[in-house]
Amino acid sequence: MNWNTYQPQPKVTAQQKVLANDLANAQASADPRFTMKQYDRPGLSRAGGAKAQAGIDAGQNLVNGVAQAYGNYQNNQTNAANTALQYASGQEQFGQALNGLAQQNAYQQAMNRMGNLQAGVGILGTLMR
């Protein structure tokens, strides 16, 4: 192994693992031997029509499984994006609330300084008379 060109493997997320698992299940359900079992009848040999229908069912299972796997992945991505948006919105609201409190505090301090200044000017005015 040449360590100068080594690239670490990209991190696989939990959602990607679930997608891979769902796709593997879809591919497993596409085996005609699995779908053939429902057409087996005791004491009868497997006919060509049953084998053909089992192949059709296997193809349908594959298509439906892949569609469901990607649909689930899309729903998971949408839910993750909505959760992130709600979190960001909550953080923004929290920040705005803190800024509002800071502004109220600054206003109160300014009013206190102004009141102290007016009291000081009043005392000086009385002394200068």
pLDDT of res. 129: 66
Give residue 41's pLDDT band: very low, low, confident or very high (50, 70, 90). confident
Residue 49 lies in a domain: yes
Here the tokens at position 101 are 């409190």
Number of domain units in the chain: 1
Query: Where does the pLDDT of residue 124 fall: very low under 50, low under 70, confident under 90, or very high at 90 and above?
Result: low
- Provide the residue range defining the domain that includes 34: 12-98
Q: Which residues of 62-93 are buried (b: 16+ CB within 10 A; e: fewer)?
A: beebeeebeeebeebeeeeeeeeeeeeeeeee
CB 64 within 8 A of CB 74: no
Indicate the DSSP class of residue 24.
H
Is residue 1 assigned to a domain?
no
**Structural domain contains residue 118:** no
Which of 10-14, 55-59, 105-109 bottoms out in mean pLDDT, i.e. has the lowest?
10-14
Determine, yes or no, domain membership for 88. yes
Distance CA 101, CA 103 (A): 5
Position 26 in a domain: yes
29 part of a folded domain: yes
Tell whether 90 is covered by a domain.
yes
- The answer on pLDDT for 105 being more than 90 is yes
pLDDT at 106: 93
Question: pLDDT tens for residues 63-98?
Answer: 999 999 999 999 999 999 999 999 999 999 999 999
Q: Is residue 124, in this structure, part of any structural domain at all?
A: no
Dump pLDDT digits (tens) for 5-37: 777 778 888 889 999 999 999 998 888 888 887
CB-based contacts of 71-74 (< 8 A; 24+ apart in sequence): 72/18, 72/19, 72/22, 73/15, 73/18, 73/19, 73/22
